[in-house]
């Protein structure tokens, strides 16, 4: 009897050993084979490494059409392959590169400067490490690597900034940029000419900035054109010294009825005339323009010996404001805000005011003075002791969300002076607000960068977890060993 039991135990022990060896013999080669042929199983909660069906369907269609987009990545793939923080990007790029239409070309921009020069001979795109450049049939778009993750921060009990959440946005951008270069979508900012305005040559640096951010920059003369072109995302009127004609007004107004956007930069002008049509265009957005020029009465708040270059304030958006255009510019830069030779604006209450989203962007301090300057007013007076509006925006929800911004000086975009960097950045922020070329509209949701985890809120809970997952299994295993030792010779 004892011999029979002993033989049975030996058989069970041998069987257990054989099963363990078989598991190892199968699991290890399978893992090695999967690794060799680059087959991975995405076990992340949000399918972080897997392309959505929408992207797969679109890429498959491009593959069938024989389309091939060159995608330049200014970092070697091997440099990100071992980084846990960049693993989602690495796996996503491999998934895209599995398609013929996505021709990934990775290179080290420092080690291959000649390739950088070939890609961007005129330094239009201001390329940085980890940026992407999508190129197809002469259409080129830059995707900054910094846009691939949306990181939210919070302040801990010690006042330190810590990461609250990190969303991976790459798929929406990659697929959207593929679509935009294949379909030839590149929004154009048109600068209206024929009004004695600032020329594009006066704004060469601004135009370079626009191109670097995936806009085209062109001139437009509405005297010669039947309408505002269809590819226009914004029409800029910069420093006109004379009014637009009735015909130009009608073309611009019709453009806004189609959801078009207009940005007007109006320098002070001492001419004894009115900008009747430009004012009427502003009026349709509930914006009025003063015929004045601003100077600062406090010598501590203006440029030395020049009261017409003065300190002003970026207006912080109200908590209930529809838009927060100035959010990145209020208080965070540490730079003083100066405005050069400017006029002021005001809100106009009309029958359509309720359909508008409108607010201030820049304002003077109360020590500034509004001096009458030009126009046709019979007996204009100075305005003192109040904040004056230097820039504002408006959106008309009844005109397909057409937008307008106004600035009291065009020098902020033509005179590239570090003193005016905040108004310039504010202008660029309004351009993005009116039309963002990086909002590619693919509606592919960002993926939260999360992994399976276990939240433990106290030391007592931690002790309980240790007991549950370590002590209890160990106790069961020990009991099994004791039972086996007692029975093995039975």
Domain boundaries in the chain?
53-181, 186-434
In Å, the largest CA–CA distance within the chain is 125
Dihedral of alpha carbons 106, 109, 110, 112, sign: positive
Cβ-proximal residues to 197 (8 Å cutoff; 6+ apart), any chain = 191, 237, 238, 239, 240, 241, 410
Domain 53-181 belongs to what topology? Answer: Glutaredoxin (3.40.30)
CA distances (Å), origin 119, targets 123, 124, 125, 142, 187 = 9, 10, 9, 11, 21
Q: Is 193 helix (H, G, I), strand (E, B) or coil?
A: coil
What's the pLDDT at 225? 94
**Long-range contacts of residues 373-376, Cβ cutoff 8 Å, at least 24 apart:** 373/268, 373/269, 373/270, 373/291, 373/292, 373/293, 373/343, 374/268, 374/269, 374/270, 374/271, 374/272, 374/273, 374/291, 375/272, 375/273, 375/274, 375/291, 376/272, 376/273, 376/274, 376/291
What's the pLDDT at 24? 56
Average pLDDT, integer, range 431-445:
81
Q: Is 23 helix (H, G, I), strand (E, B) or coil?
A: helix
Give the 3-state secondary structure percentages of the chain, helix then strand then coil, rounded to 5.
35, 25, 40
Cβ-based burial of 301 (10 A; exposed 0-12, middle 13-18, buried ≥19): middle
Residue 34 or residue 258, greater confidence: 258
Q: Is 306 helix (H, G, I), strand (E, B) or coil?
A: strand
341: region left, alpha or beta (phi > 0 left; psi from -120 to 50 alpha): left
The closest of 392, 395, 389, 377 to 427, measured between CA atoms, is 392
On average, the pLDDT of the chain sits at 86
Whether the per-residue pLDDT at 76 is higher than 80: the answer is: yes
Average pLDDT, integer, range 70-75:
96
Q: How confident is the model at residue 389 (pLDDT cuts 50, 70, 90)?
A: very high
Is-contact 67 179, C-beta < 8 A?
A: no
Token representation of residue 120: 């961007």
Average pLDDT, integer, range 272-281:
98
CATH number assigned to the domain covering 186-434: 3.40.50
Among the listed ranges 204-218, 325-339, 403-417, which one has the minimum average pLDDT value?
325-339
Q: How confident is the model at residue 418 (pLDDT cuts 50, 70, 90)?
A: confident
What's the pLDDT at 393? 98
Whether the per-residue pLDDT at 341 is higher than 90: the answer is: yes
């Amino acid at each position: 009897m004892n011999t029979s039991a002993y033989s049975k135990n030996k058989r069970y022990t041998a069987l257990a050993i054989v099963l363990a060896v078989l598991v190892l013999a199968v699991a290890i080669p399978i893992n090695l084979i999967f690794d060799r042929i680059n087959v991975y199983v995405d076990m992340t909660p949000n399918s972080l490494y897997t392309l959505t069906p929408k992207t797969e369907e679109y890429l498959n269609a491009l593959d069938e059409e024989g389309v091939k987009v060159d995608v330049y990545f200014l970092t070697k793939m091997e440099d990100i392959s071992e980084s846990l923080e960049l693993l989602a990007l690495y796996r996503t790029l491999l998934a895209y590169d599995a398609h013929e239409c996505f021709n990934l070309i990775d290179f080290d921009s420092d080690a291959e400067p000649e390739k950088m020069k070939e890609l961007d001979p005129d330094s239009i795109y201001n390329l940085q490490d980890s940026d992407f450049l999508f190129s197809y049939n002469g259409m080129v778009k830059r995707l900054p690597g910094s846009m691939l993750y949306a990181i939210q921060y919070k302040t801990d009990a010690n006042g330190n900034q810590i990461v609250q959440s990190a969303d991976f946005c790459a798929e929406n951008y990659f697929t959207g940029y593929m679509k935009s270069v294949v379909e030839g979508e590149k929004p154009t900012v048109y600068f209206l000419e024929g009004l004695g305005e600032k020329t594009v040559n006066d704004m060469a640096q601004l135009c370079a900035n626009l191109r670097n951010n995936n806009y085209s920059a062109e001139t437009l003369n509405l005297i010669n054109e039947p309408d505002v072109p269809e590819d226009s995302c914004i029409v800029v009127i910069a420093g006109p010294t004379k009014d637009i004609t009735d015909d130009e007004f009608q073309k611009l107004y019709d453009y806004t009825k189609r959801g078009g956007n207009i940005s007007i930069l109006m320098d002070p002008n001492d001419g004894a005339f009115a900008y009747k049509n430009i004012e009427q265009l502003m009026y349709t957005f509930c914006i009025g323009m003063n015929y004045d020029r601003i100077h600062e009465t406090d010598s501590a708040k203006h440029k030395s010996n020049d009261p017409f270059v003065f300190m002003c304030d970026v207006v912080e958006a109200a908590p209930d404001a529809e838009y927060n255009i100035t959010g990145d510019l209020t208080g965070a830069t540490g730079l003083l805000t100066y405005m050069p030779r400017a006029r002021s604006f005001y809100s106009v209450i009309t029958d359509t005011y309720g359909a508008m989203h409108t607010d201030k962007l820049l304002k003077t301090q109360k020590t500034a003075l509004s001096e009458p300057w030009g126009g046709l007013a019979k007996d204009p007076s100075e305005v003192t002791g109040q904040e004056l509006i230097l820039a504002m925006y408006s959106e008309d929800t009844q005109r397909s969300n057409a937008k307008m911004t106004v600035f009291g000086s065009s020098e902020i975009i033509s005179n590239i002076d570090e003193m005016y960097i905040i108004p310039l950045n504010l202008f660029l922020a309004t351009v993005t607000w009116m039309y963002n070329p990086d909002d590619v509209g693919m509606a592919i949701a960002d993926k939260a960068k999360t992994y399976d985890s276990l939240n433990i809120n106290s030391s007592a809970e931690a002790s309980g977890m240790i007991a549950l997952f370590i002590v209890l299994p160990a106790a069961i295993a020990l009991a099994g060993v004791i039972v086996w030792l007692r029975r093995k010779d039975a």
